[in-house]
Amino acid sequence: MLNEINWPEEYLPGFTDNFASNEIIVPGITAEEVFENLLDTSIWPTYYDNVSDVYFYNHDGPVLKENTRFRFNTFGFPVEARVIEFEKPADGRPGRLAWHGWAEGDEDHRLDVVHAWLIEDMPKGRVRILTQESQKGKPAKDLFNTHPDTMNMGHQDWVKGLAATVLKAHKK
């Protein structure tokens, strides 16, 4: 049975204004390798072109840790964020990373999200990379109505880019 994201009650998908879910299953890499590459924000722009200007408030970065407070730009929003779940993959348990993110503003511009990752080893040398984001606010409602679905397309690029980065390291 596959694991699921641990959602804070107020961000439970189906009860928010927008939700994105993206995953791939890749052979030949491990959850530990993928997780370590995900934590290193200095390489995010090398495999995901929708992120920039990552800044850390409470430590030097660039590696995410438990309770990290940081900010970055994505989807045209300056996002403030704090890591709210952090568990490295180990002993058959999946890696879990989640942050609460928000874009400041009035009622028309305020955006609140939880962006979560679950990375788990699977039988036959495969790894599952799942990312989901649950969003609240008028910008989330607007994103829900975009065609094409820029949020799901962008996050799929992130998942695929992360996997490609780890696979590329194996070929060196």
Whether 61 maps to a domain, the answer reads: yes
Whether 3 maps to a domain, the answer reads: no
**pLDDT per residue as tens digits for the range 77-102:** 899 999 999 999 999 999 999 999 99
Average pLDDT over the chain, rounded to an integer:
95
Q: pTM of the prediction?
A: 0.95
Please say if the pLDDT value at position 13 is more than 90. Answer: yes
What's the structural domain count of the chain? 1
pLDDT score of 59? 78
Whether 166 maps to a domain, the answer reads: yes
pLDDT score of 75? 86
Q: What is the mean pLDDT of residues 34-47?
A: 97
**pLDDT per residue as tens digits for the range 112-162:** 999 999 999 999 999 999 999 999 999 999 999 999 999 999 999 999 999
Whether 69 maps to a domain, the answer reads: yes
Residue range(s) defining the domain that contains residue 52 = 17-171
pLDDT score of 76? 83
Whether 2 maps to a domain, the answer reads: no
CATH of the domain at 110: 3.30.530.20
Q: Rounded distance, CA 54 to CA 24, Å? A: 25
Whether 83 maps to a domain, the answer reads: yes
Q: What is the mean pLDDT of residues 62-85?
A: 94
Whether 49 maps to a domain, the answer reads: yes
Whether 103 maps to a domain, the answer reads: yes
